[in-house]
Structure 1
């Protein structure tokens, strides 16, 4: 999930697709999900986040009760049961229908598509688009070696080979089903080969209307919208179905040969994120989405083993009015490679790590410190407001002027994460560091600016702008979460594993609920990889259920 400005879903899917409801079962039809219109870019009330977190906590508490019983008002039988209608779930549904299976899809929101609207494109290796564009590709082994090295060989090379080898065919398959792509390139130079297949206009907002229209009226498909998966139906150690609750409170039991859980992770459950990662997410910003961890808890209750977790995340500035995201104070703090200091008052990393490797590795470096601050002086403010920024991010392009930066710094000065001081001694006092150490750090930085060589961390000469006189501002960067990746262990066939490493019969998981490609850090250098895995894992699960795995 790369671009963070593609946040709003389709305003009226029914209007754009002419959707009828002859094949869909829901109390209210396809409508815009409220979360699509809201982010935490200083415009979403804190109450929204708290409400979602409270809902996640309530769901967790309810599922901790091992003695919950359900009285289904309806029982439906199918070959394949899919919980979650994001890209992974939709990939599973279309694959199952292609193979003539009877499918039931359960989705807790009022429309299909999930978080596809917030993405820009999909990774692919060997697609027809690449062939037509005469793209020169490395070998599959070269791609795999890059990923194995990135994860210190702590991932399954066979899984990577399966995934990469089939990713181009997945792009072709999506296009055969009416999904559109604009072009293929290196995603603004982030990918190490031309593998990024762009959605039209660089926005996945077209995905939901297209798949909605494609699936409408399909023989063998039943869809329950505004229906939440509550628990798995387990008999003699085998998962044979799922209990789900409709918006009117009634329970439906859906039975099948296999259940695929693809519920989009748990980015709204800060406590669970902290527990599984060891990183404190309590103050982080993020999208308000339906990803409250329903699937994770269902699978854990059925005996699933916990897997490693990583995150698709960038950075924000937390203020009393909310998380500041696509605004000048955040672009300056987190995306212009200004001097960064720790709780002692010393530098601790090459500040251009973001420019070289995107935000995830910057966040890793920040996590090694107790607290970090970006130091902004008057010279930097003048340069960014009047001359333009050095590095673009999402809607901001290189050279854009950060008009209003000083105003935002002044607005939030004196709050927990934004401090101001007229002198070095003042700003040191405000952030609780030794003024002598901070002055020495500034002097050393300015010396590197004179020589053009950062002897401590090797930051590029292009970011070495001298720190001048005050006033000074110190701004604390925080995380902005887009999605969680992983949490449940699966094998190469996307079968959910128990604590002994054995598959739980009948239970499969696709997408971010269980992706184990990346370990602790998502690799942006294979841009669109997570989205590609969503589709791949959904299809792969179906092949295994129907006995037709590749």
Structure 2
């Protein structure tokens, strides 16, 4: 018995997120016989939860009169990465980004429009129905129409090369039966989504305290593609980066992604209001939430962080709207109409991240932080609010909101993370490179398995660059893999 219809394919793609499905479809559109592997029981990976992709000079931006310079984007992102990003990769990605938006539209993707996130540029092309609709209503149906064979619950486990160093086969395994099969192929595209969900790799390859890190993803990014590539001589390159996104509530009883649409999560973790550490001290300009990667870094400078809200600011966010949203799950300025009910339920259920008290002294006691220092911090902060000048860190006066009306709430903030990016050194053709910088013939990496887009943090000023790169790099990998096959 075999797992697949055929014993040989032109191209095998591992992973069914944006990068993998785009690669499979693009390869099939160029005449290749393609096998698409998904180790889980459902397709789409973390792309299912994405809201939109990056592009400059797209037809949608032109319709809205939005002008963003591609060269300015490139320079800003490379500088933001401290020149750890590859300018050549960014150049090609930026130049093809408008075409990617159009290509997706041609496959049936529908868009809501273009917007910015936080203080960033309007490069975020929001698609209808989230990434789930992009994958399952557009790209996968198109791929299957063209004959792409999709195998779920089937993992890629090992790459094979010949004596000349060319990829010749891949071993796959059914996750239920553990049956294996070796598939002959001239090219493999790795699009397995990074390693955020592999605790051992996170401990080894990053500096983050993983006990405080909350992966908000599909849960399948366990480094499979990286390990397979490293085992055949790929260079281990540019590891250590995770896409942090600031304060997040840790609930041991619920899947982490559930809180993405929570009004309580938005109020507690995403507002530029008041944070204190385990000593009851304020430690940063809370406007850092407008750059979610920086916000994650700021939270990690302290052993513990608590977000402090009083009833007055809660009422303000319910009746007038929040200061800062959470992507398109909870939009900026949206009235948090579910907030009070969510707070009441969390307190009633004694959730470990929330503390409610009628006085500041009682709140400090419940959070186990020094009462005197905490009350001193609140008094000083309220004085800053009264005069409209942040004497500590220079926060914009519009975010100086007094903490004075009980009941008072404290929220222990952990650090949310969407994904890792990097691990394999690639060329501008998305070829995987060995330790000498030479391409491993027939091996390509796309999306979060590939390096070249970031440094040690993600650049949120250009929202949508991660999933946008996944779509682009999947297609780029496929185009170059098809060209390679035709030559060999």
Same fold flag (TM > 0.5): yes
Distance 1:215 1:419 in 2: 50
Distance 1:113 1:349 in 2: 37
Shift of 1:449: 0.5
Look up the SS of the partner of 1:80 in the other structure. Answer: strand
Q: Does 2:371 match 1:443?
A: no
TM-score by length of 2: 0.86
Question: Aligned residue for 1:37?
Answer: none
Distance 2:417 2:162 in 1: 37
Give the alignment of 1:205-224 within 5 angstroms: 205-218=133-146, 221-224=148-151
| Count of residues in Structure 1 that have an aligned counterpart in Structure 2 | 473
State the superposition RMSD in angstroms: 3.0
Shift of 1:97: 2.2
Match of 1:545 among 471, 481, 484: 481
Distance 1:409 1:80, change over 3 A: closer
Q: Does 2:284 match 1:349?
A: yes
Distance 1:438 1:113, change over 3 A: closer
Q: Does the Cα contact within 8 Å between 2:28 and 2:143 map onto a contact in 1?
A: no
Give the alignment of 1:108-507 within 5 angstroms: 108-110=39-41, 112-131=43-62, 133=63, 135-176=65-106, 178-187=107-116, 191-193=120-122, 195-201=123-129, 204-218=132-146, 221-236=148-163, 237-246=165-174, 247-285=176-214, 286-304=216-234, 305-314=236-245, 315-322=247-254, 325=259, 326-354=261-289, 356-357=290-291, 359-384=292-317, 389-393=322-326, 394-395=329-330, 397-401=333-337, 402-404=339-341, 406-408=343-345, 410-411=347-348, 416-420=352-356, 423-468=359-404, 472-507=408-443
Distance 1:92 1:147, change over 3 A: same
Shift of 1:110: 4.5
1:523-548 CA-partner distances (Å, limit 9, x unpaired): 22212211221121112223333347
Distance 1:123 1:351, change over 3 A: same
Distance 2:100 2:344 in 1: 48
Q: Does the Cα contact within 8 Å between 2:82 and 2:455 map onto a contact in 1?
A: no
Distance 1:97 1:329, change over 3 A: closer
Q: Does the Cα contact within 8 Å between 2:318 and 2:335 map onto a contact in 1?
A: no
Distance 1:375 1:252, change over 3 A: same
Shift of 1:376: 2.9
Distance 2:420 2:359 in 1: 41
Q: Does the Cα contact within 8 Å between 1:179 and 1:207 map onto a contact in 2?
A: no
1:358-397 CA-partner distances (Å, limit 9, x unpaired): x322111111112111123344445445665444332365
1:28-69 CA-partner distances (Å, limit 9, x unpaired): xxxxxxxxxxxxxxxxxxxxxxxxxxxxxxxxxxxxxxxxxx
Q: Does the Cα contact within 8 Å between 1:390 and 1:399 map onto a contact in 2?
A: no
1:217-260 CA-partner distances (Å, limit 9, x unpaired): 425x4333321111111333443221001244322212222211
Give the alignment of 1:1-80 within 5 angstroms: 76-80=7-11
Distance 1:198 1:167 in 2: 14
Distance 2:294 2:20 in 1: 30
Distance 2:265 2:439 in 1: 45
Distance 1:130 1:109 in 2: 36
Distance 2:405 2:482 in 1: 69
Q: Does the Cα contact within 8 Å between 1:360 and 1:522 map onto a contact in 2?
A: yes
Question: Aligned residue for 1:87?
Answer: 18
Distance 1:96 1:445 in 2: 58
Look up the SS of the partner of 2:241 in the other structure. Answer: strand
Distance 1:241 1:310 in 2: 31
Shift of 1:349: 1.1
TM-score by length of 1: 0.77
Distance 1:253 1:190, change over 3 A: farther
Distance 1:467 1:416 in 2: 22
Gaps of 5+ in 1: 1-24, 28-72
Shift of 1:118: 1.3
Distance 2:218 2:45 in 1: 12
Look up the SS of the partner of 2:250 in the other structure. Answer: strand
Shift of 1:509: 0.8
Q: Does the Cα contact within 8 Å between 2:239 and 2:422 map onto a contact in 1?
A: yes
Distance 2:275 2:472 in 1: 40
Q: Does 2:458 match 1:522?
A: yes
Q: Does the Cα contact within 8 Å between 1:118 and 1:205 map onto a contact in 2?
A: no
Distance 2:37 2:71 in 1: 38
Look up the SS of the partner of 1:525 in the other structure. Answer: coil
